[in-house]
Amino acid sequence: MHPRRTWRAALIAVVVTVVAGTAAAPAAAATPQPVYAPSGGIADPGVVRHNDSFVVFATGTRAPAYRGDTASGPWSVLGTTLGSVPDWAENGAVWAPDAVRTVTGWVLYYSAPARGKNGQRCIGAATSDAVGGPYAPVGTAPLVCPGGAHGADDVVAGRPVAAAGVIDPSPFEDADGKRFVLYKTQQTPSSIRMLRLDDTGTRWVGNASGELVRNDGIIENPVLRQRGSTFVLFASRYGYDNCSYATVYLTSTDRWDFHGRTEHSLLTTSGTGICGPGGADLVPALVDDEQRLFLHGWVCAGTTPCRQRADGSLPADARRALYAAVFRWDGATPRVGAFL
């Protein structure tokens, strides 16, 4: 072969190889950006879909709420939704509210510090004709309390932490239309418990609550979904105040028993680039058969995911922001798609 032709052929081969290699190389995944990051932060999102929009309830004074035209926004402030502080509560500092529509209208579940319980929290229910409130507390007693003199007290022998407060209420409706509320017992070890409710979603019926799962560390923010004969329990794990916070899921054919079931990671900082992806909630999308997964994560310096200090703490300007992702089911296995 002519030497010049040999050189030209080799050069062409190198160029083709470089171009082909460049085309085949996977693109670096972009760090997800929040869909909403108000200056005051937004934590523990409880999300509902209503009239072709999304409404997010968040931790804060008397359950602040926000409305999104789509999961990506634009978002607007609806204001506080709990119209008044119930008689049994010391103040309006509400944690992790969530809502659901029942035969009685909209029902808001929330946890607040109870009078005479040294800061321990109980869970209350409130109702409204409008998704954005104002919600009026139901009755004079909480829906669930960790024991004592409150009506539907959750007095359970051998609970992980005696007299621990109850937080993170989450409504669940099974395939037969039966209603429940899940929640977390505070302190460690912690547990996820569930209580059967009536059709209005405002009163418990049947037996006392049942323990779904317990953990020597932190497990909280439960969300339960049914897929055929399988129940899928989503939860947050580890400390909420740093980047270790993560979202996991467990599956079981018994809605009341997830003990010993494998804990699968769904969202982690290393897997998403979000600092502490937790507090997740799942709602139908506005199009097709997709769903949307909402969660919070820590941001610093605007909307940049925070980085922990050497001692594990977060910078002073850290606040939580709202993220959203495409979600689909693969049978009973959750699949998180692209972040919005």
For 65, phi and psi rounded to 5 degrees?
Answer: -135, 160
- Residues paired with 48 in a beta bridge: 55
The amino acid sitting at 339 is: F
Which of 44, 154, 168, 211 is catalytic? The answer is 44
Q: For residue 302, give every residue at least 6 positions away whose Cβ sits within 8 Å of its Cβ, in sequence order, or none.
A: 37
Mean pLDDT, consecutive 10-residue stretches, the chain (340 aa), reads 39 37 49 95 96 96 97 96 95 96 97 89 96 95 73 64 89 97 93 95 88 95 97 97 97 98 98 98 82 97 94 94 97 96
Which of 168, 211, 220, 281 is catalytic? The answer is 220
198 belongs to the catalytic site = no
Q: Which of 220, 276, 216 is nearest to 246 (CA)?
A: 276
| Domains of the chain: residue spans and CATH | 45-339 (2.115.10.20)
What pLDDT, on the 0 to 100 scale, is given for residue 149?
43
What pLDDT, on the 0 to 100 scale, is given for residue 143?
92
Burial profile 206-217: b = 16 or more Cβ within 10 angstroms, e = fewer: eeebebbbbbee
What pLDDT, on the 0 to 100 scale, is given for residue 206?
82
d(CA 187, CA 119) in angstroms, rounded, equals: 13
Q: What pTM was estimated for this model as a whole?
A: 0.89
220 belongs to the catalytic site = yes
What pLDDT, on the 0 to 100 scale, is given for residue 29?
63
d(CA 129, CA 107) in angstroms, rounded, equals: 9
Q: How far apart are the first and last CA of the chain?
A: 56
What pLDDT, on the 0 to 100 scale, is given for residue 191?
94
